[in-house]
Amino acid sequence: MGTIANRAETLLGATVVATTPVAGGDICTSTRLRLSDGSSALVKTRPHAPDDFFTTEAEGLRWLAETPGAAVPEVLAAEPDCLILSWVDTARPSVDVAERFGRQLAATHRAGAPGFGTVSGRDGYIGTLPLPNRPAPSWPEFFATRRILPYLKLAWDRGNIAPEDAAAVEGVVRRIVDLAGPAEPPARIHGDLWSGNVLWGQDGRGWLVDPAAHGGHRESDLALLALFGLPQLPRVLDAYTEEAPLADGWEERVPLHQLFPLLVHACLFGGGYGARAAEAARSLV
């Protein structure tokens, strides 16, 4: 079992009886640990990770777990070299589970945040990229200066977005106040809520993992759920809006909120993501 098991035993004070690789994810190596008491845990490692990479994720998980909303794995250990979480057994989501998750996600968002940004003001990570989190006085300013412009510049510097496509995104930034919709208080959001970061538990709950948690706009989480196709998404959204109605025009604002993850993907993967970001931008102006 090697070093991972030995490290986990030191941190958990429990004997690891077996380890199994967990498929999925291209940033960290994930391993299931079977412990001597019959329970399981998940350990995440990454070679040469920044010292605060895993502790920042743990901080976000604990912050989300403070709410009576969506389920979050328990942080069992968080160190510069690894993160250990309680294990979640998964299953296919039923209609009832999807609707329950929609209501619970609304409760997570409703728990709120002190401002737009992180409570600590410390930067985090989105994938392998740094994520600016210094608070801003309004969501339009936060989204423009902490979410769109940094990744537009990085995509440009890496040659992953064409000049005319970058100009389309810049046009959104210039009109961000008009496009943002009615002002809302800061919501407690996951921040990277694509479908792969929702685990459908055998216990009938949807679990939030791998967050970039901060005070933001709740429509950002919902738009990201739609970007890569969450199973049972219509049921999730129906239950969410019954629990916490959204402001008029929220569906037209989905491309606005999707600009951020599309630009991140342009930075990381190139391909057609710069063009997709521009397509989203052009649909708004």
Statement: residue 189 has pLDDT above 50: yes
Kindly report the average pLDDT of the chain as a whole number. Answer: 96
Res 2: pLDDT: 59
| Residue 57 pLDDT level (bands cut at 50, 70, 90) | very high
**203 has catalytic annotation:** no
| Residue 26 pLDDT level (bands cut at 50, 70, 90) | confident
Please compute the mean of the pLDDT values over residues 7-19 and round it to a whole number. Answer: 95
- For residue 52 the two structure tokens come to 């605060």
Statement: residue 131 has pLDDT above 50: yes
Statement: residue 51 has pLDDT above 80: yes
Catalytic, out of 51, 123, 178, 192: 192
- For residue 29 the two structure tokens come to 């190596």
Rounded to whole angstroms, the Cα distance separating 192 from 42 reads 20
Give the global pTM.
0.96
Please compute the mean of the pLDDT values over residues 214-230 and round it to a whole number. Answer: 97
Helices 149-157, 254-269: inter-axial angle, 10-degree rounding: 30
Please compute the mean of the pLDDT values over residues 217-231 and round it to a whole number. Answer: 97
- For residue 199 the two structure tokens come to 């685990």
Res 285: pLDDT: 80
Res 31: pLDDT: 96
pLDDT tens digits for 143-153? 999 999 999 99
Statement: residue 25 has pLDDT above 90: no
Rounded to whole angstroms, the Cα distance separating 196 from 164 reads 31
Res 119: pLDDT: 85
Statement: residue 1 has pLDDT above 50: no
pLDDT tens digits for 75-121? 999 999 999 999 999 999 999 999 999 999 999 999 999 999 998 88
Contact present, 133 and 246 (Cβ < 8 Å): no
| Residue 186 pLDDT level (bands cut at 50, 70, 90) | very high
- Nearest alpha-carbon partner for 146 in 174, 178, 173: 173
